[in-house]
Amino acid sequence: MAEISNKEESQYFALCHRIISEGAREQTRNGETLSVFGNMMQFDLSGGCVPFMTHKRLAWKTCLTELIWFIRGRTDVAWLAERGCHIWDANGSRDFLDSRGLQTYAEGELGPVYGHQWRHWNAAWPFDSTSADKGIDQLANIITALQDPNQRTSRRLIMSAWNPQQLDQMALPPCHVMCQFNVIDGNRLSCALYQRSGDVGLGVPFNIASYSALTILLAAHCGLVPDKFVYFLGNAHIYLEHINPLRERMADAHTRPFPRMRIRQMREKIDEYDVDDFIVEGYEYDMRPLKMTMIA
């Protein structure tokens, strides 16, 4: 494996190497994988440093579009597609919905997935915005706490997408199931994510970028500064189709320092931010294509 100059990015390559060299071969619901169980990475977000992987181009605007979709409580593929984001298309297809027993869903409807749980935890599905049952707005509650010096050091600032009561109504049960926010020294905000299942070839770089960006956004919105993103993975797997492309890149990886992120302007409400409010500076990456197909 090539020596990786970006020491934080080297954590990702170390995980890839561990899976390829030690992983158990398993037949899963959507393909054969090599997998290991249990992994942790940590990334420094201070000064707005954001871990966008540099061994290949990260489609960061697509990543942030999905994040905004979560923040706004949206669950429909059409909203994403209108903004050029197609990473959920396969999970909203007629065939995939039918395979989940969701024949009554219109194509492109995903059920009470991340956005619903973040903003309307356990509200009845289909969700009626005029109903008295709005569920629990977990994200708003966290923001309220982070903005209050007397609450921001709470050890209970947790947002969960894993709702056992509604899992069977979701096109895809959540992979990144729970995150916790933590403030030290009065204003340094960190986030820890637990992810039950991670597609290391394609999904994991997105997940790292997304929750790091969320932490940077919440820090700006709540008058704090970003500190760390800590990433815990349960089942970390690589699909067999992705092994050779990853192995080739690992042998000759060209990494660079991570870019910086800042928020263009403060919005009154968290769901008023858009992708254009995220300014990314100094993102340089290996321009050679690394071709892997997403497996739904």
Among the listed residues 49, 63, 85, 175, the single catalytic one is 175
**In this structure, what token pair is assigned to residue 194?**
């637990």
8 A C-beta contact, residue 65 and residue 85 = yes
* 175 is annotated as an active-site residue: yes
Q: What's the mean pLDDT when you consider all of the chain?
A: 97
Write out pLDDT tens, residues 160-175.
Answer: 999 999 999 999 999 9
Distance CA 242, CA 249 (A): 11
Tell me which residue of 283, 258, 286 sits closest to 47, measured CA to CA. Answer: 258
pLDDT at 2: 73
pLDDT at 274: 98
Distance CA 78, CA 270 (A): 21
Write out pLDDT tens, residues 87-103.
Answer: 999 999 999 999 999 99
pLDDT at 4: 79
Query: Does pTM top 0.75 for this prediction?
Result: yes
pLDDT at 149: 98
Q: Any residues with CB less than 8 A from the CB of 269 and at least 6 apart, and which? A: none
Q: Any residues with CB less than 8 A from the CB of 35 and at least 6 apart, and which? A: 19, 23, 24, 26, 235, 236, 237, 238
Distance CA 243, CA 246 (A): 5
pLDDT beyond 90 at 184: yes
Write out pLDDT tens, residues 211-261.
Answer: 999 999 999 999 999 999 999 999 999 999 999 999 999 999 989 999 999
pLDDT at 5: 87
Homologous superfamily of 9-56+138-281: Thymidylate synthase/dCMP hydroxymethylase domain (3.30.572.10)
CB-based burial label for 185 (10 Å; 0-12, 13-18, 19+) = exposed
Tell me which residue of 217, 288, 204 sits closest to 64, measured CA to CA. Answer: 217
